[in-house]
Structure 1
């Protein structure tokens, strides 16, 4: 048996010919026609009018915060359960992160808690400059409610949809409706460009500015002239060619991840104390990773017992993201709530979820877990 990885790259077959076309044209970098095609196809996929293809999702978030005017003294709010790349750019800008708890069922930002916190902040005269929502593990935040809260309280809404490419809610792609949406195509994502990301917005001028800033902010001149500083954040034409090929199989990848999730539910869902994340009405999560919460008092074994048992048979699993307020880096940061995220981290596990997995692979994982019950 070969190792079952948590989420490995899965090529569709068209990527190599597209990359060969790039090599044949010698249009390797800095951008090129494949970058343009990738951006246009991402806009069509998401329904967001303008897209800039970038080196990573973290780069996209950094640019979004800069375009939002975030700076020293500003607060940026976000859910505490997220990946560090969804928070570190707040520090790049010299701003202050404030972390909020999550919903127990979906693992998304608890919008009731969030609204109460906004009320309190408004009364204190210290509303956040920007709010980042994270579409964790391919679930999608309630965009209609977020848009209504944005209108009421006046913050810039940045949707971190890095884990939710291909996911929808009420027929709308993840990130649509936000001021800025962040996408990721890292090697472990549902589709990949090896490394890469994108920033999307219905504000065309903002995306043009993002392209300018992402290519070292070079002024229009025959020589290198700079009025502001920028970054080396643009995606290469080679990586974009991989992305164009990957987009052709995105629907298949989402269907495969959802099939895997459904099979895990069928094979493990009857075990008392094992709980799968929910999918509210109208949401079509991409199920990038299948996650479970394992209550040791009911199962008789804990999350770490399962992880080590799977690893012993060459099957990779991983705890849920460690909440940001529990990280040494943010030990002094303000947290609103936090108990639900702490509990989810303590008992939560991401199961092998790569779209190449067969039913037999899923059954192999499930059998090892079931053996712990016996």
Structure 2
């Protein structure tokens, strides 16, 4: 029997997609023999990234998580502090809060953007003011390529002088009121992990209009080495700098960012045209204040109407060698965070379970998004036949 390899090939959720120019910059790095952290490719990548986003200063790092850790440390987050963050996010957005011994407070999503709900944020900050315990920072996550409502969040935080750190790891290329994702915040975090809209295989960027903050981050990211002909250290730092090779890939990828955003949006439009009229299927909304990259196209499945739940559809796709993924499981539902009035039970008896104290404000919206949400394959190299294949399998799951 002949197997149609094209019809059985693996369709990944969001694989890397090289543009061709990356190899030119990598070759430059090899020719110069700068293959360790730092080098001319890193300097150029930081400069070009700032020019592209309009955020004046940037430091290229080993990951977005490293970037978040650095900025929280520079802002003086310490044990006993609270940091507010979106509950609908990837754990790398909030794990650095625990690195520093602080307590995360998770804020639920709104229905308009699926990002941090500004109304809940405002209400909780009022209560914190009464208790004389304001958070050291607020971290809204730009979920699935869509910016949070920066102006409202910053307006709410400004009277309390609370810095806003935007986790824009999923939103490079997105627009908020005519500006780049992360623009105007105290600092913005970006990621170039393998599944992001542009990828360096790994790595991240910390960007800010605060030159001193970026200088401090650079210093700490290079093991906090003081100026001296020998290795002199008056602070503890980290090995967080990006390598010259990784930065070379980033320079090539940055040149095709706009093209990748167009492709992501075209993929989303295809899915919408094919599935919008199907009862029981909804798409992630696009907030009126900006333009999402639609890094991942996300649908909500109402099983009572569609005839199958999210997990049934995911497994049907996987059975046909197609990767899809549930929406991020909210942080307040994660076993590692010990939420008030929520028991955390270890799946392994007689083991010590690591948990961190946390609070949740709201939670119902993000929990519903997790239970019904499915991220569809959104790789920018997908063909129309690939998308057809995905849609046809989804439709077979109906009653």
TM-score by structure 1 length?
0.98
Q: What SS class does the counterpart of residue 200 from structure 1 fall into?
A: strand
Deviates more, 1:98-107 or 1:317-326: 98-107
Cα offsets for 1:248-285 (capped at 9, x unmatched): 11001000000000110000111111110111223110
Q: How does 1:45-84 map to 2 (within 5 A)?
A: 45-84=52-91
Match in the other structure for 1:250: 257
Is 1:169 matched up with 2:176?
yes
Q: What SS class does the counterpart of residue 374 from structure 2 fall into?
A: strand
In 1, Cα distance between equivalents of 2:338 and 2:282? 30
Distance apart, 1:145 and its partner CA: 1.4
In 2, Cα distance between equivalents of 1:365 and 1:153? 48
Unmatched 5+ residue regions in structure 2? 1-5, 340-357
In 1, Cα distance between equivalents of 2:113 and 2:384? 25
1:336 paired residue among 348, 361, 378: 361
Distance apart, 1:117 and its partner CA: 1.2
Is 1:119 matched up with 2:126?
yes
In 2, Cα distance between equivalents of 1:228 and 1:166? 36
Q: What SS class does the counterpart of residue 211 from structure 1 fall into?
A: helix
Q: In 2, are the aligned partners of 1:15 and 1:244 still within 8 Å (CA)?
A: yes
Q: In 1, are the aligned partners of 2:108 and 2:365 still within 8 Å (CA)?
A: yes
In 1, Cα distance between equivalents of 2:82 and 2:338? 16
In 1, Cα distance between equivalents of 2:397 and 2:336? 36
Cα offsets for 1:350-370 (capped at 9, x unmatched): 000111112221111111111
Instruction: Give me the CA root mean square deviation.
Output: 0.9
Match in the other structure for 2:3: none
Is 1:318 matched up with 2:325?
yes
**Runs of 4 or more off by more than 2 Å in structure 1?**
none
Distance apart, 1:46 and its partner CA: 1.4
Deviates more, 1:158-167 or 1:25-34: 25-34
In 2, Cα distance between equivalents of 1:204 and 1:95? 26
Match in the other structure for 2:93: 86
Q: In 2, are the aligned partners of 1:14 and 1:245 still within 8 Å (CA)?
A: yes
Q: How does 1:297-308 map to 2 (within 5 A)?
A: 297-308=304-315
Count of residue pairs the alignment pairs up:
374
TM-score by structure 2 length?
0.92
Unmatched 5+ residue regions in structure 1? none
Distance apart, 1:30 and its partner CA: 2.3
In 2, Cα distance between equivalents of 1:280 and 1:182? 21
